[in-house]
Each structure stands twice: as C-alpha cells, then as structure tokens.
Amino acid sequence: MSRDTPHAGETAAEETWRVFRIMAEFVEGFELMANLGPAVSVFGSARSQPGQKYYLLAEQMGERLAKAGFGVITGGGPGIMEAANKGAFQAGGTSIGLNISLPMEQVANDYQTIAMDFHYFFCRKVMFVKYALAFVCFPGGFGTMDEFFESMTLMQTEKIRRFPVVLVGSNFWGSLSDWMREVMLDRYHNVDADDMDMFKVTDDIDEAVKFIQDSIERFGLPRDGRGQRRFFETPWHEQMTAEGTTYGWRPKQPKRNKQRRS
C-alpha cells in the first residue's frame, strides 16, 4: 500500500479498537438493564404527532402496561416512542428509553426514568429483545418492520423462546399479514402455518395487554421473573447465552469429496 494512501496502516487498528466500543455498549446496557424486571418493548413511527390516533393508543398502551406491572422499553425518541414512555411515566411505571445517535439529531423524549444512548443499532436491538417479555408494534417505518421481522426470525429459528408479539392497527398491519399468509405461506411455502400464529393483529389496547398476559402465562415465561427457565432445568443447547439467545446445535458439516475435481 502506498504511503500516500489516506489512513495507510490505520484501518486494522481502527477495526480492532471498534470492538472495545461495541463491548462498552453491551456492558453498559447489561448493567443498566440487569435489574429491570418484567418489561415490554414498544415500537412505532417517530413521525406520529401528539393527538393523532396511534399516538393516543400508544400512550394508553404504556399506561396499561405500567399498571399491569410491566416496564415499558422504547427507542427513546419522539412519536410512538414518546407516547408509550409518557403513558408509563405518568402511570408511575418504569419507562426506559434506548436512544440512538443518528446523523440527523434525535431528540430524546422527556418521559424516561431509565435512559441510555447507543451508537450501534445492533447493540441496542439486543437490549430490546433480551429484556422484554413481549413486543408491541404500532404503525411505523423501516425500523419498526426491522424489529418485527427480527422477532419473527429469532422465534422461528428458536434462537429465542416464543413470546407474544402484538401488532396494533389492523388498517396498517392487515394487508401485510394477508400478504404473508397468501404469498409467503400459501403460494411459496416459505413459512409454516404455525409461524403465522406468532403474532396478533388488533385495534384494542385492552385486548392486546390481555393477550400479552395470557401468552406469558401459557408459555411459562415468568418462572424466574425474567422469562427463562432455571439454568439447571434446561438442556445445554437450549440454555441462554449472555446476550439472550440460545446456544443451539452446531451446524452439521457436509461430507466433502476428497478427490479434487480436474
């Protein structure tokens, strides 16, 4: 590499030191959230405005969850995140905001009893999953879709144990649910019929909270207060790693032909 190349010889060192920044975010997040107790992660658009339909519903959701004994975890920003934090905060509950540093400035909402700033999306996403017993998704954009489909992927592949996922807003989520069933399931067979039972679409906040409570009781999640079975009761391949996913079996390696092709 030419000595005139910008940052010559620095790339490897920069990449190595980045690992420590990532570690620091995980460590700070784990320490901050370790004693949280039962909580629900709530997602939705940052563009929703106070007084709009889904803002008001998210505020009600935060209140209902807090009164039911759940902490409320959001991305800490405006819109649906603010509404859910506000509902929990005003109900006297635990209101967590996992904020993110973005090129366009994100203003943290004023309704957080616990707050942390992240640089890396993937570190932040681990906290959403690891410390939640359920997900609630209101209408949103790419970020909300990302959280929803990641939860589906983790449960489908059994990297996490199933937990309730509620999609609030049938006008928004209904068409997506229909497409998943008609195209992904029936036409292309890329998912199983049971996979479509991993989430519930509703417009009723009380129904959503009851679904979460009933599902947690059905799945047996609250056995140790954090949604996991006791370590010694769990087979090793189902045991949880520090970041909140299961170990699983190692991939089977295919038998390789030792004779090199000509």
Mean pLDDT of 243-254: 90
d(CA 70, CA 119): 26
- Lowest-confidence range among 120-129, 141-150, 172-181, 240-249? 240-249
pLDDT band at 238 (very low <50, low <70, confident <90, very high): confident
CATH number for the domain spanning 187: value is 3.40.50.450
Straight-line distance from the first to the last Cα atom of the chain, in angstroms, rounded to the nearest whole number:
36
Look up residue 152 and give its amino acid.
Answer: M
In a domain, 24, yes or no: no
Number of domain units in the chain? 1
Domain that holds residue 205: 37-238
pLDDT of 5 > 70? The answer is: no
pLDDT band at 260 (very low <50, low <70, confident <90, very high): low
pLDDT of 30 > 90? The answer is: yes
The mean of the pLDDT values for the chain is: 90
| Tokens, residue 106 | 């994100």
In a domain, 30, yes or no: no
Unique residue bearing structure tokens 């039911």: 68
In a domain, 259, yes or no: no
In a domain, 20, yes or no: no
Q: What is the DSSP string of 131-146?
A: T-SEEEE-S--HHHHH
Mean pLDDT of 228-240: 68
In a domain, 244, yes or no: no
> With contact defined as beta carbons under 8 Å apart, do 87 and 61 qualify?
yes
Q: Which residue pairs from 52-57 have beta carbons closer than 8 angstroms and sit at least 24 positions apart in sequence?
A: 54/80, 54/83, 54/138, 54/139, 54/168, 54/169, 55/79, 55/80, 55/82, 55/83, 56/83, 57/83, 57/138, 57/168, 57/169, 57/205
In a domain, 225, yes or no: yes
* pLDDT tens digit sequence for 136-195: 999 999 999 999 999 999 999 999 989 999 999 999 999 999 999 999 999 999 999 999
Mean pLDDT of 95-124: 95
Mean pLDDT of 119-145: 97
- Lowest-confidence range among 80-89, 182-191, 219-228? 219-228
Mean pLDDT of 243-250: 90
Q: Which is more confident, 40 or 253?
A: 40
In a domain, 14, yes or no: no
- Please tell me the predicted confidence (pLDDT) of residue 261: 57
In a domain, 7, yes or no: no
Beta bridge partners of residue 116, listed in sequence order: 98
Q: What is the DSSP string of 136-202?
A: EE-S--HHHHHHHHHHHHHHHTTSS----EEEE-HHHHHHHHHHIIIIIIIIT--S-GGGGGSEEEE
pLDDT band at 233 (very low <50, low <70, confident <90, very high): low
Q: Which is more confident, 13 or 36?
A: 36
258: helix, strand or coil: coil
